[in-house]
Structure 1
Amino acid sequence: MSSADPSRPVRVLLVEDHDMVAEALQLALDRADGITVVGRARSRAEAVADVLAHAPDVVLLDRRLADGDALGIVAQLGAGGARVLVLTGDATPAIAVQVAKAGGAGLLLKSSQLGVLETAVRDVAAGGVVFDPDLLSDVFDRLTGRSTGGTALTARERETLDLLAEGATTEEIGRRLGVSRNTTRNHVQRVLEKLGARSKLEAVAVARREGLIG
């Protein structure tokens, strides 16, 4: 339901479970010329229902919601014609590729200025695709098979990935790397995020598919 008619406002559905963030976004977008917020959802289930109820042109989707990773519903939200613009606090090429493969129209950092967000909403509503400039070339390369996401991993994260592939537990990884449990968890989480994986097993599968491990 792209906003092809320039005489009417772009209809935006906010999907954000943090009240202060949602209120700030709504205030900013409602003040912008040619944009109106038609609803707000706090969960994946609410988002799916509200897309049907409000028929938005653009869904502004927080990547992490209380009931799970929102990337899993991007295709569902866009099935009726709405364009999905994902907001994230930590963008990586792997996450951007996931958004693109799911049919999302863009990925924007939460730290982006409000003016950038307003422009992105208008561009997406008009049929454009908006990704952070620092990610765009990586997204293109990975979607066309010209490169993998392995270059995004640090040396310690590669060590962590190798140990995950061996089936090592978090405790074993920490012991073998000589780091604390919290540090180990951080390494594992960063590996998952950079590979766009939701679990250790999926991270290993992605890494094998992309030739990062044997």
Structure 2
Amino acid sequence: MPSVAGQEVIGVLVVDDHAVVRRGLAAYLESADGIEAVAEAVNGRDALVQLRRLATENRLPKVVLMDVLMPEMDGISAIGEILASYPDVRVVMLTSFGEVERVYAALQAGAAGYLLKDADPDEVAAAIRAAARGEVHLDPAVAGRLTRQLVSPPTGLASLTARERTVLALVARGLSNRQIAAELYISDRTARTHVSHVLTKLQLSSRTQAALVAIREGLIPPPSP
């Protein structure tokens, strides 16, 4: 990346499925000292395409600023793939959703920051700079919720293991226990056990309720109208 006054400019890839949001963020970043919006993407899959292109052009950004809920590939799913291919890239989530479960999922996936879309523009820039330094920056409201969660037992999605989250997403996609077993290369009995644990931990009585929870919490996108 080029430098300004001897300091390296932080390149940022802006990822959001709403064009107005993307362009607004890009315009703001262009005005922030030491930060440059190098490209835009409409979802997690497109972000990977843009990163491959930028890498071949030797313009790989230092930070990806990304929404959580997007079609085709959501932000949390994209984090792992981005970090696997580009370990030096940092990912900051910028979203309207501040539920603790989503924050946990993002941080566990490797996010270097989590901001709400009503954040002050200067805080967005601060989060990008912190991520570029290898630090983690959380929205104050999000940090407060995490702190409160730490002193109480986990509930909701936070109570599920990584495998149980995967099972919940597969249930929400309409897969039967046998299909889940085939998808995860486990026995039918193990699949049934996982589904039972998911329903018990979430205090649900049906797979339909589980599917609604998965959609509400952003594990899978809502069905198309």
| Among 133, 150, 153, the residue aligned to 1:147 | 153
Runs of 5+ unmatched residues, structure 1: 153-160, 171-184, 200-214
3-state DSSP of counterpart to 1:85? strand
- How far does residue 53 in structure 1 lie from its aligned partner after superposition? 2.5
Conserved? CA contact 1:93–1:149, under 8 Å: no
- How far does residue 135 in structure 1 lie from its aligned partner after superposition? 2.6
| Among 121, 125, 128, the residue aligned to 1:121 | 128
- How far does residue 124 in structure 1 lie from its aligned partner after superposition? 1.0
2:97 and 2:214 map into 1 onto residues whose CA distance is: 10
Q: 1:99 to 1:50 in 2, by over 3 A?
A: same
Partner of 1:30: 30
Conserved? CA contact 2:45–2:78, under 8 Å: no
Partner of 2:14: 14
3-state DSSP of counterpart to 1:128? coil
1:74 aligns with 2:79: yes
Q: 1:169 to 1:128 in 2, by over 3 A?
A: closer
Counterpart AA for 2:113: G
Query: TM-score, normalised on structure 1?
Result: 0.67
Q: 1:46 to 1:60 in 2, by over 3 A?
A: same
Aligned-residue Cα RMSD (Å) equals: 3.4
1:127 and 1:53 map into 2 onto residues whose CA distance is: 24
Q: Identity rate of aligned residues, in percent?
A: 29
1:106 aligns with 2:113: yes
- How far does residue 118 in structure 1 lie from its aligned partner after superposition? 1.0
1:168 and 1:76 map into 2 onto residues whose CA distance is: 29
Runs of 5+ unmatched residues, structure 2: 55-59, 159-201
- How far does residue 51 in structure 1 lie from its aligned partner after superposition? 1.8
Q: Which runs of 4+ in 1 moved over 6 A?
A: none
